Amino acid sequence: VQHTHWIMYDVRAPACVLLAFTLWIHVAVGIDNGIGVTPPRGWRSWNQFGTGISQPLIESQYQALVSRKRDVDGVATSLLDLGYASAGIDDGWQKCESGPGGVGFHDADGNPIVDTSKFPNLKAMTAKARSLGIVPGWYGNNCDCKETRPACAYNDSDLCFEGDVRATLEYGFGSVKLDSCGIQRNMTHYAELFNRSGKVVMLENCHNGNPIVPIREGGDRIDCPMNFFRTSGDIRPQWGSVLSNLMTTPDFNGGLTGPGCWGYPDMLEVGTYDMPTRGGLNFLTLTEARTHFAAWCIVSSPLILSHDLTNDTTMDAVWPIITNREALAVNDAWVGDAGMLIKKSDEMVPFTNCAWGFNQYCNHSASMVWKKQLSVNSVALLLMNNRNVSADVSVSWRGDIPKWQEKDSILCSADGCQVHDVYTHKDIGMFVDGFTAKRLAPHDSAFIIVNSTA
């Protein structure tokens, strides 16, 4: 048995480092700082609203998170009921060029300066969130009018780091996303400062630095001073971008992501549209949105919504996607497998708008099969058709599903393995050798759970 020691930054107690050990299937790891045991779920403002945010807008999203105006399985249900528990403001809260000499947005004492014309009372806003049962989230090391003053860099002083942590706690935020644009790029130091406070704050690393992603040290030691981290560049609501971001996860899902330290190929683009930061009218079809959501579920990604939760037309359309309890259960499941790509076609398909900016081209496999182990006798599979025409996508039980616990794939009885459809919530039959999703529409998928019957 291999043992992996995760360096964790415990935000519950004054101790600098917590070393714990949690049993995986083959690997024992210690990655529990008390939060983020399952992939976090919530909402963040950037993809839909960019810097065009305000306190009334954010508070309206809080209300939408707890609204039970829609049903799930015949029961009035809110997004909060389904675990979408956090709601974060992104870039745009700061008062630009308000620092000493008209540079940055920290005062001479290192305190971040809020644009009170947009956010007149952050304490009241976070109090409203908490009264509703929501964890309010903030954003630091901003990109808009980024902080460049040397006094804010860790090598020069603790001034702005301490000011950010102090403000996060005093305003009442329970999570913070730390970006990479400004001069404050030291995730380890942020974690240490939050640790000293003794307060529980979820940390999201958006390429911040030191480290940008978890680091394997000495073979079996993994340094992860954050609860989740970006594996990818910024996502766009275009199919090539979704695939490009998804394809960054295999580098981490083989042992660098798990409870308390989740890899994250960016926010969901389900339901976003006409974004000022993304060049205007562009969006995913509902078929693409469903596959996008399923893909994030099967690779154990945090599920961070980013569309306008108050838009009833959008919410009615995407509600069946984002509230699929079976898909959410796949996302939550943990037996040591964060989800992996097990099959892809040699045939490639070209795409445009694959990354931030325009005319960013990419090529991806015409079909893919992703797998996540749910138990010794059960696996989730996502069969994806990335072509622009309908096509079959197949998976073989014995030929494609990797070994698990020293036995060949999953074991079927003479009658086969039972296959369950996550999208329709129905058992669809027994299959002896494998499964073929026939004539999947362009960018559609089959999301199934395969249960051993041996």
The per-residue pLDDT for range 87-142, each reduced to its tens digit, is: 999 999 999 999 999 999 999 999 999 999 999 999 999 999 999 999 999 999 99
Q: Is the pLDDT of residue 276 over 80?
A: no
Mean pLDDT of 359-371: 92
314-356 per-position pLDDT tens digit: 999 999 999 999 999 999 999 999 999 999 999 999 998 787 6
Q: Is the pLDDT of residue 19 over 50?
A: no
| Nearest CA among 264, 187, 451, 239 for reference residue 362 | 239
Q: Is the pLDDT of residue 248 over 80?
A: yes
**Taking the model in full, what pTM does it have?**
0.92
**Distance (Å, rounded) from C-alpha 179 to C-alpha 406?**
41
45-99 per-position pLDDT tens digit: 999 999 999 999 999 999 999 999 999 999 999 999 999 999 999 999 999 999 9
Q: Take residue 59 and report the two structure tokens written for it.
A: 């508070």
Beta-sheet pairing, 135-140 with 86-88: parallel
Q: Quote the pLDDT of residue 410.
A: 60
Q: Quote the pLDDT of residue 27.
A: 29
Q: Quote the pLDDT of residue 32.
A: 43
Q: Quote the pLDDT of residue 451.
A: 93
Q: Take residue 241 and report the two structure tokens written for it.
A: 């971008």
Lowest mean pLDDT among 190-204, 224-238, 356-370, 434-448: 356-370
pLDDT higher at 60 or 399? 60
277-292 per-position pLDDT tens digit: 454 457 899 999 999 9
Q: Is the pLDDT of residue 256 over 80?
A: yes
Residue 117: CB atoms within 10 Å: 9
**Distance (Å, rounded) from C-alpha 385 to C-alpha 345?**
10
In three-state secondary structure terms, 419 is strand
Could you tell me the pLDDT band of residue 34, with boundaries at 50, 70 and 90? confident
Mean pLDDT of the chain, nearest integer = 89
Kind plus residue range of the DSSP H or E element containing 438:
strand 434-440
| Nearest CA among 81, 79, 89, 84 for reference residue 44 | 89
DSSP output for 322-344? HT-HHHHHHHH--SS---EEEEE
**Distance (Å, rounded) from C-alpha 173 to C-alpha 98?**
22
